[in-house]
Chains A and B, each alone.
Chain A
Amino acid sequence: MARHRRVQAPEEDKPLLSISPLIDICFLLLIYFLVTTTIKQKERDNNMMLPSAAPTDTQPDIQPLFIKVNEQGHIYANVGAAQELLDRDVVGKERMLPMLDQRLDTYAASARLGNDQPLVQIYVEGKAMHQRVVDVLNLLAKYEINTVTFTDLLTEDQLND
C-alpha cells in the first residue's frame, strides 16, 4: 500500500515591497529637475509709495528733499539757484552715490528728530537710464524712505487744477 505522503503546501509567498519602481520614479524626477532648473538669482523688491497717484489736500509738515537725475545720470539736489551737483557717477560695486548718501543721512535724521516722515521728490529727465533712478531709490531704501513723488508724473490737467 502506497503510503500517502501528505503533500506539503508550498510556503505562502510573503508580500514584499518592491522599491525598484520608487527609485526609478525618483531618478526620473531628479533628471527632470536637473534639466529644467537653471541657476538664477532671485529678484528683489524695492517698494515705493507714490503719493502723486493719490494726491491729498494736507500739506506735509516737512520740506521735501528735491532730487534731480539728468540724462547723463548726474544727481542734483534742490531746485533753481539752490541747485547743487551731488554725484556724477556711482562708486564701486555697491553702486553708491556718496554725496547723496550723506545728504539723505542728514535729511532723514533731522526729519525723524522732528517726528516727521522724510519726503523725497524726484525729477528724472526722460532719457535718464532706469538703473540710475534705481541707484537713487536704493539709497532711499537704505534710509527707509519709501514715500517718493515723481514730480513729472502729473499731467498738464492736474497741474492746472
Chain B
Amino acid sequence: MIDMVFLLLIFFIVNATLIIVEMDKRVTVPIAKHSDRQDGKMGRIVINVYGDKHAGEGRFRMADGKKAFADDEDMIDFIKKQKELWEDKGQKPRLHLRADEGVHFTYVRRAIRAAATAGVNEVIFVSLWTHS
C-alpha cells in the first residue's frame, strides 16, 4: 500500500510540474491538430484575449487573468518591459497569445500589432489538440 502511495505521489508531483504556462480557463483556445508541444516557458510574454462572455473585466489581460490592460498603449508598455526582461536573460521574446476560439480576429490583431510595435515578431498561437 505504501508503495502505491509513493507511486501516486510521484505521478502527481510530475504531473503538477508539467504545466508550463498559467492557463486561465475562461479562455477556450482553438483546436489545431498540427500544433507542437510546449517547449518551455522561457521568453514567453503571455496575453489573454477574452471572448465576449468574459470581456467585461477587460478584453486583454495578463497571464493570471486578473490584471487587465487599460488600453493598447498599456499593453505595448507591458510587452516592451517583458521583452527587455527576457532579453536580459538571453532569451528570445515571443508573444504567447491565448485568444478565445470565438473572439473576433480584430481583437487578436490588436494584440499582434501591440507586440509588433513593441518589437516582438514571433507569435505563438496557443491551441489545444482537442476539446474533449
Within the complex, what minimum Cβ distance (angstroms) separates B118 from chain A?
9
Contact B37 A42 (CB under 8 A): yes
The answer to whether A53 and B15 touch (CB under 8 A), given A43-B128, A44-B35, is no
Contact A40 B109 (CB under 8 A): no
Contact B122 A30 (CB under 8 A): no
The answer to whether A48 and B125 touch (CB under 8 A), given A30-B12, A93-B130, A130-B99, is yes
Q: 0/1 per residue, B19-55, Cβ < 8 Å to A? A: 1110100000111111111110000000001000000
When distances are taken between beta carbons in the complex, the residues of chain B under 8 Å from A36 are 16
B8 CB within 8 Å of chain A: yes
A66 CB within 8 Å of chain B: no
Contact B12 A44 (CB under 8 A): no
Contact A42 B105 (CB under 8 A): no
When distances are taken between beta carbons in the complex, the residues of chain B under 8 Å from A52 are 116
The answer to whether A46 and B18 touch (CB under 8 A), given A129-B105, A134-B127, A153-B116, is no
Contact A130 B126 (CB under 8 A): no
Contact of B127 among A44, A53, A127 (CB under 8 A): A44
Closest chain A residue to B6 by CB distance? A26
A45 CB within 8 Å of chain B: yes
Instruction: Give the distance in Å from the alpha carbon of A44 to the alpha carbon of B20 in the complex.
Output: 10
When distances are taken between beta carbons in the complex, the residues of chain A under 8 Å from B21 are 43
B103 CB within 8 Å of chain A: yes
- Give the number of residues in A that approach B within 8 Å (Cβ atoms): 48
The answer to whether A26 and B121 touch (CB under 8 A), given A95-B33, A124-B109, is no
Q: 0/1 per residue, B101-120, Cβ < 8 Å to A? A: 11111101100110110011
Within the complex, what minimum Cβ distance (angstroms) separates A19 from chain B?
8
Binds B, one of A3-11, A75-83, A108-116, A137-145: A137-145
Contact A48 B122 (CB under 8 A): yes
Instruction: Give the distance in Å from the alpha carbon of A77 to the alpha carbon of B39 in the complex.
Output: 33
Contacting B at CB under 8 A, from A21-67, are 23, 26-27, 29-30, 33-34, 36-37, 40-54
Contact A44 B128 (CB under 8 A): yes
Closest chain A residue to B21 by CB distance? A43
Instruction: Give the distance in Å from the alpha carbon of A128 to the alpha carbon of B124 in the complex.
Output: 19
* Residues of B in contact with A (beta carbons under 8 Å apart): 2, 5-6, 8-9, 12-13, 15-16, 18-21, 23, 29-39, 49, 94, 98-106, 108-109, 112-113, 115-116, 119-130
Other A-B contacts than A26-B2, A33-B13, A46-B36, 14 sampled, CB-CB below 8 A, are A30-B12, A43-B29, A43-B38, A44-B37, A47-B122, A49-B122, A50-B122, A126-B105, A126-B106, A129-B105, A130-B49, A130-B101, A133-B105, A142-B34
